[in-house]
């Protein structure tokens, strides 16, 4: 794991320093321990540190911004589409029990540093659970987690539904089911 001191100033660097965090590894550990929960405003990534919670997108965007402020562009944020199921997240097993499908394409954000994946979404390593289920990866800029990540996710789901017409689901039905899964995951990573 890459670590470096937080010596430069910047929006995220200053927020981390204000709570006593002085290096990147400590920032990653701190963010990983925060509850998995959506922030009150999707477009204000500073809320991860102010509200002390976040999702895979917001948590990793904050860490990627911190790395950029400290001159470490090798820390990349990645949007990975994986097949979310009871296998990847056991808390979802009963959710899928009565469905005509056993997984939903989900877009998960994580960091890639020198070619290696790192996931700081929650304690434990979600990457261990999802790596074999990743079907697409895309590097992005941290600000793209706000809107672009959602667009590529929706685009992938639309294509997936076209490739699986036997499911007889509309996009809205599947997206609503996906939202139910996310609610089940909040606080129960």
Strand order in the sheet with 104-113: 116-118, 104-113, 75-84, 134-140
Q: Is residue 108 part of a domain?
A: yes
Q: Is residue 6 part of a domain?
A: no
Q: Is residue 20 part of a domain?
A: yes
Residue 189's pLDDT band (boundaries 50, 70, 90)? very low
* Region 46-51 average pLDDT: 97
Looking at residue 61, what is its pLDDT? 97
Long-range Cβ contacts of 172-178 (<8 Å, 24+ apart): 174/104, 177/99, 177/104, 178/84, 178/104, 178/106
Does the structure show a pLDDT above 60 at 109? yes
* Region 137-162 average pLDDT: 95
Give me the domain span that covers residue 179. Answer: 11-185
Q: Is residue 35 part of a domain?
A: yes
Q: Is residue 1 part of a domain?
A: no
Structural domains of the chain, count = 1
Looking at residue 90, what is its pLDDT? 93
Q: Is residue 4 part of a domain?
A: no
Between the alpha carbon of residue 143 and those of residues 100, 101, 139, 140, the distances in Å are: 36, 33, 12, 8
CA distance 70 to 169: 46
Q: Is residue 126 part of a domain?
A: yes
Q: Is residue 5 part of a domain?
A: no
8 Å CB contact between 78 and 109: yes
Structure tokens at 105: 């394409």
Give the model confidence (pLDDT) of 117-142 as tens digits: 999 998 887 788 899 999 999 999 99
């Amino acid at each position: 794991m890459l670590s470096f001191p937080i010596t430069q100033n910047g929006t995220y660097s200053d927020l981390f320093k204000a709570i006593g965090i002085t290096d990147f590894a400590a920032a990653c550990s701190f963010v990983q321990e925060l509850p998995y929960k959506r922030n009150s405003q999707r477009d204000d990534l500073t809320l991860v540190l102010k509200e002390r919670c976040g999702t895979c997108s917001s948590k990793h965007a904050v860490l990627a911004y911190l790395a950029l402020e400290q001159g470490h562009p090798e820390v990349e944020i990645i949007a990975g589409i994986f097949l979310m199921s009871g296998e990847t997240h056991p808390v979802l097993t009963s959710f899928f029990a009565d469905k005509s499908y056993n997984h939903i394409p989900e877009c998960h954000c994580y960091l890639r540093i020198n070619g290696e994946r790192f996931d700081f979404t929650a304690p434990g390593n979600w990457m261990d659970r999802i790596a074999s289920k990743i079907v697409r990866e895309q590097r992005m800029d941290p600000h793209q987690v706000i809107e672009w990540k959602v667009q590529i996710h929706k685009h992938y789901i639309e294509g997936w539904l076209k490739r699986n017409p036997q499911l007889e689901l509309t996009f809205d039905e599947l997206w609503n089911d996906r939202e139910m899964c996310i609610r089940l995951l909040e606080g129960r990573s």
